Structure 1
Amino acid sequence: MSFEDEGEKQATQSHEVIVVMVPFPAQGHLNQLLHLSRLISSYNVPVHYVSTTILSRQAKLRVQGWDPLSTPNTMMIKFHEFPVPAFPSLPPNPQTAVEFPSHLLPSFYSVLHLRKPVAKLLSVLSPTTKRLVIIYDAVPSIIQDVVTIPNGEAYSFQPLSAFRISSYVWETMGRPQGIDDHIAKLVPSRASTLTPQVMEFINKQEAHNKYSSGAIFNTCRAIEAPFLDVCAKVNSRQWAIGPFNPMEVCKTSGHKCLEWLDKQIPNSVIYVSFGSTTTLTDEQIKKLAVGLENSGQKFLWVLRDADRADIFVGDGRAHELPKEYEERIEVNGQGIIVRDWAPQLEILAHTSTGGFMSHCGWNSCLESITMGVPLATWPMHSDQPHNALLINVVLKVGIVARDWMHRDDLVESLAIENAVKKLMTSGEGEEIRKRMLELSKAVKRSVAEGGDSRLDIDDFIAHIRR
């Protein structure tokens, strides 16, 4: 349906409140705001999910745990797919000194061209509702025309952990309680986790955060209570309504790796995946391969490059493994390698999965916590080093696979082997697993009736319906 047709249709429908969702152009962000759309639409609030043609298609293709096109309570989610100027969809560079996926930067700037179509959409929707609510993620310049909408108001979505955000405001707030000195000394600088070019993009966007009437967090007090309290000193109004991902997951993808997991015993498999923005060098891939095999542990390894800006064009790099490696581990029944997009939620929810070697993106951390799977942390860039610190030092539900302090060093196969054994077969690993299971139960209580997250989303819906 064209924009004009959609606008004409909406003009004949009145709603107490309408929500417009504007995600940042990267997989982890698209995914979080699509899950948030599902939650808000379950309150019979219409949601308009705005993105580019390519990114909208990507979000719907990769969402897990529900079908955004057919689930009854999500029929109120409407997708707006706008074209933007062409940008180079470059392959990732595995040799870059800083592992942030800088090849995606052109797409970040390209998506800023959504400002005009978003402004037009807001003007069309405004007469059909008492209140028009815009939830934006890291690109506030796109929604700056909300100030011209008499019944419009904007809310910032915080796609990062409260720990990451609070670590930056802690000093300026006079070191309030919530982050002790020991943890504060371990927090990496922002400059060490991002490239100067990305910092420039972020700084230009932060100037537009003045439009926000409050902040929404994809977390809960069971995970991050003290850090949410620190953030509350900056955000006069905030809601922690996560985790957004489904708590219970059914096997719906039909992926072959799930059939392999079905044949394994409970908690016997370590799942290895470094997300959609990470690319390892060939040398590091070989070290990882040897370490996994020498651990003697069953493993499911998602081996793929970081996403291009357009995931539907271009072929991924052919990763070179040790001679006859893949055939050997499959014949021996030790492991399976997945070279395409994997159903991560279904893998983490599987009873055979007992550990997760992860880059520690916030989506992955929340999904692992929700499913009660302890982590072996391998942070790469952005918020990932902070999340690893939260997982290992604060929550104590993971172990270190790659130390951020030695991020410039190759992780040797022996270190990988030892990390896998520690997580999967040691007494310490078993204690970590017990703590993770308890945390998982607490998180599930938080999203259940009467839980903190449920109360916060109820309050948010009541606020926008006021």
Structure 2
Amino acid sequence: MALTSHPENEVIFIATPAMGMLSPAVEFARRLVDHNPGRLSATFLLIPVPHWPTIHSYTQSLLATSSHNLRFFLLPTTNPPSPDHFHSYVAHISSFIDQHKRNVKNAISNDSKRRVVVGLFVDLFCSSITDVADELGIPSYLFFASPAGFLSFALDLPILDWQLASESLTELSIRGFANSVPRRVLHRVVMERGDGHSWYLQHARKYAQMKGIVVNTLQELEAFALGSLSRGATPTTYSVGTILNLNGSAQWHPDRAQHESVIRWLDDQPTSSVVFLCFGSLGSLRGPQVREIAIGLERAGFRFLWSLREPPKANLGPPTEFSSFDEVLPIGFLERTARMGLVCGWVAQATILAHQAIAGFVSHCGWNSILESLWWGVPIATWPIYAEQHMNAFEMVKELGLSVEIRLDYWDGIDLVPAEEVERGINRLMEGDDMLRAKVKGMREKCRMALMENGTSYQSMSALVEELIANN
């Protein structure tokens, strides 16, 4: 199937089919083509994943929004490799994406005579697709939906790798961090040195070969990390954040009735009275930890909204929804807390954080979640689970002073945060330091100012547009 096209300078996008990477990449594509209307158009190539219902629902909703300047195109379906062949999500998803090279090349080539393609944007796990860009003579760019601090680690991984192999090294000097970074918060997949480690090294080498790297951050938030990226042979870096879909999944939520009932419940709560617990689109916790959280919540006594999901039933699969919360929560918990809290399944997180009833956020510290909380001025208590979240949590607490700590180094199935620690962390979040709350509110204003005309992120986006046009 050929892509419909227009004679404008065109950029092509492809992103990992996971909410934390696909959603910000789509929003960035919208911002890019809308920055100077008429100068650029974009085609977003979507990887079909009918076996992942939530992502499938989202991609189908995107296809219905294609317009003149931003078109969505569904690549042919390819059977994913068996998860049983991999030890990590990184290796599984990277291999799956790599299978789409031919489809991507065909999609671009079929219409190449009618378009001037001035750039191909890939994300964290799509770096192998740059081989297609090289074949077609198209400049490659990385859209990095994680922070600049973690980008500095990823870029330097081939150099740092020999140090990581030494288990005696307890702290690491990473150029994007002012403080030494403890080994215990480094990316676990990289540290385990299995198939995920091999893929990360491959991605890191590809990142260094890009013409440019776009980071979803802002100068006012990560000045030190961004400054560090200007040293050495790093591709030109553009900080264009915050890039957020502020409607979250509210527009296409798979359970609209649940979403609306959650909003109605929040509407009935006093302003700034509710602590929100959510561990991301891929986040879930095992039964023993869930019970400790429940006990800690009940003891803390604050109003709460808890997005609780069941761990994957299949290897490397996404979380699922509980058929009944009673099977995992302490006996009588729902009845005892009925007047003060609500336990629900997956929610439209950005919409929840925007609600006036929310006062604090217990978060897994995915970068999108951090940016959403800062955008709405909601303080975070850190509870990282997987991927680079531990490094994000370390940066937010130790480098930036914008969060309180429940844990920085939690690994589900290995650690157990007791109820007393949960209670203490929630108390600190909800009743803690006024200076922290003021600092978060100040960052909220900086996030908005950066996107205004002549703001730092606005100027960075303008520079990127000019470079893309010059590629013609």
Q: Secondary structure at the match of 1:82?
A: coil
What's 2:446 paired with?
442
Distance 2:181 2:319 in 1: 43
What's 1:77 paired with?
71
Q: Percent identity?
A: 22
Q: Quick one: which of 34, 48, 56 aligns to 1:53?
A: 48
Q: Secondary structure at the match of 2:270?
A: coil
User: For structure 1, which runs of at least 5 residues remain unmatched after alignment?
Assistant: 91-99
110-119 vs 246-255, which deviates more?
A: 246-255
Distance 1:438 1:148 in 2: 46
Q: CA deviation at 1:227?
A: 0.4
Q: Secondary structure at the match of 1:410?
A: coil
What's 2:328 paired with?
320
Closer/same/farther in 2, CA of residues 57 and 49 from structure 1, 3 Å limit? farther
What's 2:140 paired with?
154
Q: CA deviation at 1:71?
A: 6.6
Distance 1:383 1:310 in 2: 17
What's 1:184 paired with?
180
435-444 vs 171-180, which deviates more?
A: 171-180
Q: Does 1:23 align with 2:10?
A: no
Q: Does 1:349 align with 2:354?
A: yes
Map 1:334-345 → 2, pairs under 5 A: 334-339=340-345, 341-345=346-350
Closer/same/farther in 2, CA of residues 406 and 345 from structure 1, 3 Å limit? closer
Distance 2:420 2:320 in 1: 34
Whichever residue aligns with residue 298 of structure 1, its letter is R
Closer/same/farther in 2, CA of residues 387 and 130 from structure 1, 3 Å limit? same
C-alpha RMSD of the superposition: 3.3
What's 1:128 paired with?
114
Map 1:69-108 → 2, pairs under 5 A: 76-88=70-82, 102=88, 105-108=91-94
Q: Does 1:231 align with 2:229?
A: yes
What's 1:201 paired with?
199
Q: CA deviation at 1:188?
A: 4.6
Distance 1:136 1:449 in 2: 27
TM-score normalised by structure 2 residue count: 0.83
Distance 1:154 1:105 in 2: 22
What's 1:218 paired with?
216
Distance 2:275 2:87 in 1: 26
Distance 1:312 1:376 in 2: 24
Q: Is the 8 A contact 2:186 2:390 kept in 1?
A: no
Q: Is the 8 A contact 1:446 1:453 kept in 2?
A: yes
Whichever residue aligns with residue 214 of structure 1, its letter is G
Distance 1:74 1:370 in 2: 30
Distance 2:453 2:53 in 1: 33
Map 1:152-301 → 2, pairs under 5 A: 152-167=138-153, 179-180=177-178, 183-186=179-182, 188=184, 190=186, 192=188, 194=190, 195=192, 196-209=194-207, 211-233=209-231, 234-246=233-245, 255=259, 256-301=261-306
1:420-460 deviation line (CA, Å, top 9, x unaligned):
1111023x2x3221110001111110011111001111111
Q: CA deviation at 1:401?
A: 1.1
1:13-37 deviation line (CA, Å, top 9, x unaligned):
322x111111123321111211112
Closer/same/farther in 2, CA of residues 197 and 220 from structure 1, 3 Å limit? same
Q: Quick one: which of 401, 404, 415 aligns to 2:406?
A: 401
Closer/same/farther in 2, CA of residues 372 and 292 from structure 1, 3 Å limit? same
Q: Secondary structure at the match of 2:437?
A: helix
Q: Is the 8 A contact 2:305 2:341 kept in 1?
A: yes
Q: Does 1:452 align with 2:444?
A: no
Q: Is the 8 A contact 1:291 1:413 kept in 2?
A: yes
1:214-243 deviation line (CA, Å, top 9, x unaligned):
111010101101101111224241111011
Q: CA deviation at 1:320?
A: 1.0
Distance 2:78 2:120 in 1: 20
What's 1:369 paired with?
374
Q: Is the 8 A contact 1:291 1:414 kept in 2?
A: yes
